[in-house]
Amino acid sequence: MALTSGSFRGYEFDRMVVLFSMLDGQNEISCAISTSAMDDLEKPARVKADEREAQFMRLRARIEECAARKFIAREFEGSPPGIILRSIDFRTRA
């Protein structure tokens, strides 16, 4: 089953991540993306804390596509297991 969009959870300043979720049927998968990864996707932009939700929404399709690839590859991290996206996850493979 393909992942579908979940919810925007918020911006965690201390960890410099945006939290969101994806859905695998009825199962909610916790996800996070580093703010540096989002900024790298919008080079040369560096956005302010209060603009992170809008930035996430602009990039949502690309972020969720990457999260889906990591889900299929079973690349979970943390406890409880979730998906964490970093800049390296968006680099094109040669």
User: What phi-psi label fits residue 7: left (phi over 0), alpha (psi between -120 and 50 degrees) or beta?
Assistant: beta
Based on its alpha-carbon atoms, the radius of gyration of the chain, rounded to whole angstroms, reads 13
Residue 93 has pLDDT above 60, yes or no: no
Three-state DSSP class for residue 14: coil
Residue 91 pLDDT: 86
Predicted confidence (pLDDT) per residue in 25-57, tens digit: 999 999 999 999 999 999 877 789 999 999 999
Contacts of residue 92, Cβ cutoff 8 Å, sequence gap at least 6: none
Residue 15 has pLDDT above 90, yes or no: yes
Dig out the tokens for 94 from the structure: 């040669």
Contacts of residue 1, Cβ cutoff 8 Å, sequence gap at least 6: 24, 25
Domain range summary for the chain, segments of one domain joined by +: 4-89
Provide the whole-model pTM. 0.90
- CATH H-level, domain 4-89: superfamily: Shew3726-like (3.30.160.140)
